[in-house]
Amino acid sequence: MNGHPLLEARGVTVRFGGLTAVDGVSAAFAPGELVGIIGPNGAGKTTFFNALSGVTAPSAGELFAGGLRLTGARPHRYARQGIARTFQTPRVFAELPVAANVDFGLQFAGRGRSASWLLKDAASILNLIGLADQAALPAAAITPSQQRLLEIGMALATRPRLLLLDEVAAGLTEGEVEAMAQLIRRLRDELDLTVIWIEHAVTTLLRHVERVLVLHQGRKIADGTPSEVVRNPEVVEAYLGDEVPA
């Protein structure tokens, strides 16, 4: 990709009135990376994601996708650059069948984009995420963990190059969290995706990602491999030592 990062934030700041939710964060994400973002509650993780996906315009700083400046562009422009995301609360069409939810993603943004044969149609995508047996069920009838998978399927249907995952393991059992993490790795490997994953289940995240960004009070306090980050005194202090495994 002409030497540019797939996505780059340069000094991104997001203010809401007097509150600075994201404070001058810079980060570049290369093709094929699996990156986690962690931080205590209120650290600015979701706000940073909203900036990275065009949902919230930064108050200051710049955003680039593949070298193209996207600062202030609407979310559909980000989607056109191959950026897809999930939300903390799954956004599925409850009354529509599972397959139709995925089909919506294909119609919405995926048509004009070339993609792996694994994303050929709704059936292929449901197969990939393990929901083939639920294809005909209304989305409201599947379990919360399956709804999270479905939302990932809807994001994949836009045939992204980069997938932003916002707390996809929230509310899942330990076994489901582990299965989700393995699926995320597999999607990255098989689809050659870049994945940026925010998660509260810090220990699982650190086991599966290759690089971690740590946000604290809106600032980036660390960016490195999981083993580097857990030894970083500032990170341990930000978490008061209780969430990051020794």
Average pLDDT over residues 116-128: 88
pLDDT value at residue 109:
60
Q: Is the dihedral of CA 147, 149, 155, 157 positive or negative?
A: negative
Residue of 243 and 27 predicted with greater confidence: 27
pLDDT tens, residue by residue, 169-227: 888 888 998 999 999 999 999 999 999 999 877 888 899 999 999 999 999 999 999 99
Separation between Cα atoms, residue 173 and residue 187, nearest integer Å: 21
Set out the domains of the chain in order of their start, with CATH numbers. 1-82+164-174+193-246 (3.40.50.300), 89-160 (no CATH)
In the chain, the percentage of residues whose pLDDT exceeds 90 is: 65
Separation between Cα atoms, residue 54 and residue 52, nearest integer Å: 6
**pLDDT higher than 60, residue 1:** no
**pLDDT higher than 90, residue 238:** no
Q: What is the dihedral of CA 20, 21, 26, 28, to 10 degrees?
A: -160
pTM for the complete prediction?
0.90
Q: By C-alpha distance, which of 145, 75, 62 is closest to 108? A: 75
Q: By C-alpha distance, which of 117, 97, 121 is closest to 107? A: 121
DSSP string, 159-170: --SEEEEESTTT
